[in-house]
Chains A and B, each alone.
Chain A
Amino acid sequence: MCGTARSGCIAGVIEIENVSKRRGRVTVLDGVSFVARPGRVTGFIGPNGAGKSSTLRILLGLDHAQEGRALVDGSPFTALRRPLTCVGAVLDGSGAHRSRTGRAHLRWVAASNGLSRRRVEEVIELAGLESAANKRVRGYSLGMGRRLGLAAALLGDPGVLVLDEPFNGLDAGGVRWVRELVRTRARAGGTVLLSSHLMSELAEIVDDVVVISGGRIAARGTLDTVTGEHGSLEDAYFALTSS
């Protein structure tokens, strides 16, 4: 086992293997399996409540699955000692406490993984947060919160990006920035797994698609195979998730 006490990812393969989760009597996920590969953008799509966020939370060790495994390069995320150098994640927003400044938030996140303050300044610039960095997060717009979350995810320059609904709340400039970021990362050999319900945004940037509906995988494959004879990703999505 090489997965404990190591930093960085070697390949950056995300494997979700037969994951099932129940909350009380409600089955949230039922045998969910898929793989997100390096050098590709994998779009994880489905209606609200289909299980996208739950799957990503299980991948990051925030929620526990009753069955199955979620692995990054063969080990669970929770076994990583400096996870930010391997996986950068943005789940529901920035994760910053309202009375902290954006810069203070990034500084503690960086320090927890032994990353430098210089890197904090770099990601502030990268995310376009220069003018907001010294303001308290409670005064941020939703879009600025998103940018702050992404800045934190990029701190460790990770090979894997996991983004839950990254376009929510972003303005046009933000959407464009995320789109380019995601493409650039994948082109450089990184793994990008992103969930969304915005088909038009996704169709332009994804290589692979995983469709989830009612906690089950409805389809998975390359953009072309999933789109198939449906004509567009959007048509395929509605055909696959309405049944």
Chain B
Amino acid sequence: MRLVWVELCKLLRLPSARAGVALGVLCAPAIAAVSAPSERSAAVDVAFLELTFGVIGAILLGVVAVSSEYRDDGEDSASTRQIVASLTAVPSRMRFLAAKAAALSLTVATTAMLATVIMLTMLAGTGEDLGPGVVGRGVGLIVYWVLTALIAFGITLLTRNGVVPLVVLLLNSSVISFTYLLSRVVPAANYFPDLAGPHMFLRRSPTGVEIGPVTGGLVMLGWTVVLLAVGAFRFQRSDA
């Protein structure tokens, strides 16, 4: 527990991580404020779709949790790679990594919960019916954010540098979704984590392929476990 607390402090004192939390909390309400209400879908469905975009905050947190350890400002700087300090203080790499993943999950889960509560409260305030199963959908969204952050974390363990995972993952979940485009051609692409995961909280599939919420969650969990395992293996084996 002590190490989780330490990793929480390390993460939340970084300006970029704070930006990730702010993005996550504020993104969905901001989109909701500027987008016109849709007549074809229920307001609560639109709200959950908008909450999907807040996942960019989770991605930022997942990437920064790792890339901040490897940031190197060059020989003339007093600031050097934090990983050296981290591993001389906590030499067991798996304990270190587990604490870091736990701290990241806690941060992202809290951020997602705040975002969901704010969004749904805004919605309920306008007299909208939140519909049945809204709690389950909310939990699904939180799980989606946490798993996305852990996927970003796992990928950054492989690259060490945050730029590539940040650009690829943020582009894919905001401006242009490569996986979505691919799914138009290859149906199996629907099982990419960013397409399977949202079935946990979206009623209507954006791609037209129906995957149950539990199946969607399990598919995403599978991706997360594999990417984390590969990242952890590399972290354990390679020189810091």
Contacts and interface: CB of A to CB of B under 8 A. Distances in A.
Contact of A83 (B89, B237, B239): B89
Interface size class of A (residues with CB under 8 A): 35 or more
Interface centre among B13, B79, B91, B238 (most CB of A within 10 A): B79
A204 interface: no
A99 interface: yes
A167 to B, nearest CB: 15
A144 interface: yes
A112 B6 contact: yes
Contacts of B171: none
Interface in A30-52: none
A98 B240 contact: no
B84 interface: yes
Contact of A138 (B2, B5, B79): B79
Contacts of A146: 78
B77 A145 contact: yes
Nearest to A96: B79
A77 interface: yes
A73 to B, nearest CB: 14
A228 interface: no
B85 to A, nearest CB: 3
Interface string A108-119: 110111100000
Contact of B71 (A84, A97, A105): A97
A62 interface: yes
Contact of B78 (A57, A113, A137, A152): A137
A83 B95 CA distance: 14
Contact of B80 (A60, A61, A92, A109): A92
B14 interface: yes
B87 A105 contact: no
Contact of B9 (A96, A111, A141): A111
Given A60-B91, A96-B80, A111 B2 contact: yes
B15 interface: yes
B79 A108 contact: no
A138 B85 contact: no
B88 to A, nearest CB: 5
B79 A145 contact: yes
Contacts of A152: 85
Given A95-B82, A137-B79, A100 B13 contact: yes
B6 A62 contact: no
A115 to B, nearest CB: 10
A141 B90 CA distance: 27
A218 interface: no
30 contacts: A62-B88, A62-B240, A64-B239, A78-B91, A78-B93, A79-B91, A84-B89, A91-B88, A93-B78, A95-B80, A95-B83, A96-B79, A97-B68, A98-B73, A100-B14, A108-B9, A111-B2, A111-B5, A111-B6, A112-B2, A112-B3, A112-B89, A113-B89, A137-B79, A138-B73, A138-B78, A142-B76, A142-B78, A145-B77, A145-B80
Interface of B: 2-3, 5-6, 9-10, 13-15, 68, 71, 73, 76-93, 237-240
